[in-house]
Amino acid sequence: MSDQLSQQHTQVYWTNVEFTYEEGSAQHGLFEGGLVYAFVRAFDVREALDKFEEEFESRDLGIRAIDYITVYAEVPWENEEDQLHFDGVAALAGSTSETFLDSFEVYERR
């Protein structure tokens, strides 16, 4: 299947993940973890979850909780700046096979 054809059958999915810093991460021992929005192009929720899990594992991040995984389409943000930012991240994710993690909200060690 050509890349163009496969893109026609995929959608951008996004999630909000609560993560932990695992051994091997530069932040392990400094911070407990945090929250981050993630975006990826996938055929369905299962493939999106697999891609999110692979990305977090490659960064030595553990997944503590996933609030949702849903198609990113017409998501209304509170202000125009956020709308432009997240629409842009979703567009980047839709144009490549990479997983994009947005800014990390980090919390201290407990």
Segment 9-35, tens digit of pLDDT: 899 999 999 999 999 999 998 999 999
Domain tally, the chain = 1
| Alpha carbons 100 and 59: distance in angstroms, whole number | 12
Residues spanned by the domain of 49: 3-108
| Pairing outcome for strands 31-42 and 105-108 | antiparallel
Is the pTM higher than 0.75? yes
Rounded to 5°, the CA angle 53-66-103 comes to 80
